[in-house]
Amino acid sequence: MIETAEAKSPPDRSWRQVVAPFETPSLARSIGQIADSVLPYLALLVAMDLSLKVSYWLTLALAVPAAGFLMRIFIIFHDCGHGSFFRSGRANRVLGFVTGVLVFTPSRAWHKRHAKHHASSGDLDRRGTGDVWTLTVTEYRALPAWERLKYRLFRHPVVLLGLGPAYTFFIEHRFWQPQDGRSERWNTVLSDLTIAGIALLACATIGWKAYLLIQVPVMLIAGTLGVWLFYVQHQFEGTYWERHGQWNWVNQAIHGSSFYKLPGILRWFSGNIGYHHIHHLSPRIPNYYLRPCHESHPMFRAVTPVTFRKSLRSLGFRLWDEDRHKLVGFGDIAGNGPPTAIPS
């Protein structure tokens, strides 16, 4: 959300000139980020295996920082999909595949769907690809009782932040989708085979029980944290949604993508993804330049941040009210009312 009228709609050339200096990745910064993310993660997995001989509570305690490093690896994986981590497209594809294996996500299919998310975020007429499914109040009221119940269950925090991430990373990502092309399908198969190979190697060396006791909690913690970050990035008080005819790229980036103001340590582990308004404005900016870009111009510093306390309100948001242009909860609807026609 922008406070000043001038910052609300920056001229096209203005914002492009501001972000351009930050769109070229640094090889040294990128290699350094691989080193300070992947190596500690692997070291913690070894430490977790050793801790099993001491106490599983110690293993679970180590799972927390391991999940933090895995979340940071996911940001590298994410940047590779945007072609922003290296100048070389091939290097981005190779590292994207490798990090995708570590985060249990096939790179080509996910990167393709994520690109569609960037192209349609905040557009009410193009929902459903790479986003958290959100109905309008009118659409919800038009549903039969059973469909309403299913939507309520889907939007419940236990499902959205607990069961949902587990299903997504362990099950959904193991299969391609009907709309995936040949390259995405082969990439998914190769990714699954590589993950299976690593799992079999781990089972042969430390045992299947130890492997599950280590990998599962790390994935569950990282998945929940990652989905929460993704949720807050677009489901926050004052966010932006419009019908396609009124939808605007700059407005969806600045108004529809949050500036999630996190403490320094969480900002580091999340790869600066809290500067999501900058990322949506220019996905070509690598994660380590998002903060410098944000601080480089008054139009960005005027963005109202979403604090951690404010972000907790997002748990109550369930529907988009087109009349009031805001996210609302089920309790904000004055009665369920009879089904009404959905605008075409």
Q: Which residues of 203-236 are buried (b: 16+ CB within 10 A; e: fewer)?
A: eeebeeebbebbbebbbbbbbbbbbbbbbbbbbb
Query: Would you give the DSSP letter of residue 299?
Result: H
Q: Could you tell me which of 202, 200, 173 has the C-alpha nearest to residue 187?
A: 173
pTM of the model: 0.91
Query: Would you give the DSSP letter of residue 326?
Result: E
Does 63 fall in a domain? yes
Domain count, the chain: 1
Confidence of residue 301 (pLDDT cuts 50, 70, 90): confident
- CA 158: distance to chain centroid? 18
Mean pLDDT of 208-219: 97
Q: Could you tell me which of 248, 236, 245 has the C-alpha nearest to residue 125?
A: 245
- The model's pLDDT over 115-150, given as tens digits with 9 standing for 90+, comes to 999 999 999 999 888 889 999 999 999 999 999 999
Does 48 fall in a domain? yes
Confidence of residue 333 (pLDDT cuts 50, 70, 90): confident
- The model's pLDDT over 6-37, given as tens digits with 9 standing for 90+, comes to 334 444 558 889 999 999 999 999 999 999 99
Does 179 fall in a domain? yes
Q: Which residues lie below 8 Å from residue 48, measured CB to CB, with a gap of 6+? A: 59, 62, 63, 66, 214, 218
Does 332 fall in a domain? no
Structural domain including 276 reads 5-126+156-308
pLDDT over 60 at 158, yes or no = yes
- The model's pLDDT over 249-292, given as tens digits with 9 standing for 90+, comes to 898 999 999 999 999 999 999 999 999 999 999 999 999 999 99
The answer to whether 254 and 277 are in contact (CB under 8 A) is yes
Q: Would you state the pLDDT for residue 91?
A: 98
Mean pLDDT of the chain: 91
